[in-house]
Amino acid sequence: MTSLLVIDIGNTNVSFGVFDYDTSSTGALSHHWRIGTHHESTSDELALTLRALFTSEQRSCEEVTDVVISSVVPPLLPIFERVTSKVFKRQPLVVGPGIKTGMPVRYENPREVGADRIVNGLAAYELLGGPTIAVDFGTATTFDCVSQEGEYLGGVIFPGIHTSMEALFDRASMLHRVEIARPKNVIGKTTTAALQSGLLYGTAGVVDSMVGRIREELGEDASVVATGGLAGRVAVESKTIDRVEPFLTLQGLRIIFEKNTNHPAAQRKEKPT
């Protein structure tokens, strides 16, 4: 058995996943972790954290045979590259310009597209076929659109739920942070309920409106897959989200690894379900 470690370095969190490949070359996600993104972290601190995460699952770092990384935080990328060399004795595959995805990028300047957005679009297309829209509820809420032919067309970016709440909290002295939860009514009878209604139902409304506009522009009824920490909560209130995949980005990194290493798993035909 071989094991692949995937690392997604985001603005708020760093997500890790371990995919184990058996004799049939099927990569299965066996473990996953998430830690906060800290720009001041050193390679020594991150190495200790990674070793502790593996130990907590009775896994050995020596089991990792390959590593792939995507990052939207440029200063942290070289630090994580040093960490993987130190802990796993492996040079990672880094998602960036020149990486093989099998997905043409139709952005005016492909270098402007965040690595996580390409990864999400690729995973969504492999999962559902095209046309498809991947919605990621992170620091920013992003919509990534893929055509029927598997082309990355571009998308939409607007502030994430927590980002919006923090901005509102900072600018309005009478308002306070709240849990993102479903209020009893749309019309809030308390400040907390009013904030929860706006954040949850408002976000669901934005998603439905944006998906409608994207479908109209595409001229096709694109499928919608959601990911990110709040995807499940928003999906319940949304009329357009077809499927929630909490580990969409991690799966996308696995697919990119397979495509760039001629891994046997990349040879199998993945049919949309």
Task: Report the chain's mean pLDDT, rounded to a whole number.
Answer: 91
Q: Angle at CA 137, nearest 5°, toward 269 and 162?
A: 165
CATH of 117-249, one of 3.30.1340.30, 3.40.50.2300, 2.40.30.110, 3.30.420.40: 3.30.420.40
- Catalytic residue, chosen from 116, 170, 208, 242, is 116
- Chain-centre distance for alpha carbon 8: 7
> Can 242 be counted among the known catalytic residues?
no
Q: What is the CATH number of domain 2-94?
A: 3.30.420.40
CATH 3.30.420.40 segments of the chain: 2-94, 117-249
256 contacts 122 by C-beta, under 8 angstroms: yes
Which tokens in the block code for residue 214? 């994207």
Which tokens in the block code for residue 213? 């506009």
pLDDT, one tens digit per residue, over 87-137 is 999 899 999 888 888 899 999 898 888 889 999 999 999 999 989 999 999
pTM of the model: 0.89
25 CB burial (10 A radius; 0-12, 13-18, 19+): middle
pLDDT score recorded for residue 265: 56
pLDDT score recorded for residue 48: 96
pLDDT score recorded for residue 273: 39
Q: Which residues of the chain have pLDDT under 50?
A: 268-273
pLDDT score recorded for residue 269: 45
Other C-beta atoms closer than 10 Å to the C-beta of 49 total: 17
